[in-house]
């Protein structure tokens, strides 16, 4: 056993985990521990007294088994100039939406250059839930003299949403 008093893993198992190239989820199932435990073993956060290679923690996302993306400056500039929806760009590069979003906002790869995304929207994409109302419906709501309660039953939204549309705090991008 390891020198840890409550450890489920032996020193031999810790070394095997650290040497393994298998996904953390697979290792967790094999040894009957959580994925977090596997990550902590691999990065040396736990079982420091046991040998074996220790991995550097990932810079992107959770877990040291996460494939990190490293883009050259030209690719970063290409991503920042790409006007397609983020999810399509992410699919092309085999990374998550969040990786591309952070590149476009300048959170990562600050030094690479290229235009930064000004707000949270990109052509064809909106963050958050899909909209329930079309721009045409929003215009009708704004021009209607009906009560918020009546309009909410017509358009299947809350009276508060009707109020926010009329005051401009919701759907402010619709003229």
Q: Which of 175, 174, 134 is nearest to 157 (CA)?
A: 134
Summarised one tens digit per residue, pLDDT across range 151-162 is 988 988 899 999
Cα dihedral angle (41, 45, 46, 50), rounded to 10 degrees? 70
pLDDT value for 119: 59
Q: Which of 71, 103, 98, 76 is nearest to 87 (CA)?
A: 98
Note if the pTM is more than 0.85. no
* pLDDT at 129 exceeding the cut of 70: no
pLDDT value for 139: 92
Domains of the chain, residue spans: 1-67, 69-128, 135-167
Burial track 114-150 (b if 16+ CB lie within 10 A, e otherwise): beebeeeebeeeeeeeeeebeeebbeebeeeeeebee
Joined tokens for residue 147: 């009560």
Alpha-carbon distance values, 77 to 28, 104, 123, 155 (Å): 39, 9, 17, 43
Summarised one tens digit per residue, pLDDT across range 61-105 is 444 344 445 788 889 999 988 888 888 888 888 788 888 888 888
Other CB atoms within a 10 A radius of the CB of residue 37 amount to: 21
């Amino acid at each position: 056993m390891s020198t840890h008093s409550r450890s489920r893993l032996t020193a031999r198992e810790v070394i095997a985990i650290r040497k393994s190239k298998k996904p953390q989820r697979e290792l967790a199932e094999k040894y009957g521990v959580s994925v977090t435990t596997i990550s902590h073993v691999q990065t040396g956060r736990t079982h420091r007294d046991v040998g074996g290679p220790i991995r550097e923690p990932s810079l992107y996302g959770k877990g040291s088994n996460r494939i990190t993306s490293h883009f050259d400056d030209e690719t970063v500039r290409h991503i920042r100039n790409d006007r397609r929806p983020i999810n399509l760009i992410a699919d092309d590069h085999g990374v998550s939406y969040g990786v591309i979003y952070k590149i476009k906002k300048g959170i990562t790869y600050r030094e690479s250059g290229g235009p930064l995304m000004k707000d949270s929207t990109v052509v064809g994409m909106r963050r958050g839930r899909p909209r329930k109302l079309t721009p045409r419906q929003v215009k009708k709501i704004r021009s209607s003299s009906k009560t918020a309660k009546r309009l909410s039953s017509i358009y299947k939204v809350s009276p508060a949403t009707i109020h926010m549309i009329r005051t401009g705090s919701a759907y402010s991008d619709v003229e």
